[in-house]
Amino acid sequence: MKIIIIEKDTLLYEEFKFKCSIGKNGKTTKKIEGDNKTPKGLYALGPLYYRKDRLPKLSTKLKKIEIMKNFGWCDDVKSKFYNKPIKINNKIRHEKLYRNDKKYDLLIPIEYNSKRPKKNKGSAIFLHLTSNYKKTQGCVAIKEKDMLILLKLINKKTKIKII
């Protein structure tokens, strides 16, 4: 089964339909770092990164990785770690994963530009949480209650299709 993102605010999985938000500037097949667009295509999902201090009991078939205070995701096009999880280092530009807001309490990397990342093609594309459906910088965001349902249904073979 696939997660399918249709229109600009709908995530489908089997018989479930969830409201979601995507990039401020819509979707694209020509993603560029910083364009605020969600990449169209069919992608695998990575492991679940989560804040154990906020969500200690999770039911999912995905591999789980607890987010530590020093976790980041490299979005520095000059770095050899581009579009990879890193331990925070002030010499490398990154997205902080341990945040005060709840946006990244649950996050699943969308395996876009991740196997052999091409510089400037986009990084840190996640399925993560939202409280208000505010447009993202390219990610797909859903409410926590919907993510908790989705986590019970999906597994490591689940793909996401953004159309």
Q: What order do you get walking across the sheet with 71-74 strand by strand?
A: 85-87, 71-74, 94-96
Q: Please, what are the averages of pLDDT over each run of 10 residues along the chain (163 residues)? A: 93 97 98 98 98 96 98 96 94 95 98 96 98 98 98 97 97
Specify whether the CB–CB gap between 113 and 83 falls below 8 A: yes
pTM of the model: 0.96
Nearest to 163 by CA among 16, 8, 34: 8
Task: Tell me what pLDDT residue 119 has.
Answer: 95
The reported pLDDT for the residue numbered 102 is: 97
pLDDT at residue 145, rounded to an integer? 98
- Pairing state of beta strands 106-109 and 126-129? antiparallel
Do 104 and 39 meet the contact criterion of CB atoms below 8 Å apart? no
Domains along the sequence of the chain with CATH: 2-162 (2.40.440.10)
Yes or no: say if 155 and 62 are a contact pair by the CB < 8 Å rule: yes
pLDDT of residue 133: 98
Helix (H, G, I), strand (E, B) or coil at 98: coil
Q: Which two tokens stand for residue 10?
A: 């709908």
Q: Is the Cβ–Cβ distance between 160 and 45 less than 8 Å? A: yes
Alpha-carbon Rg for the chain, nearest whole angstrom, is 15
- Residue 89's pLDDT is 84
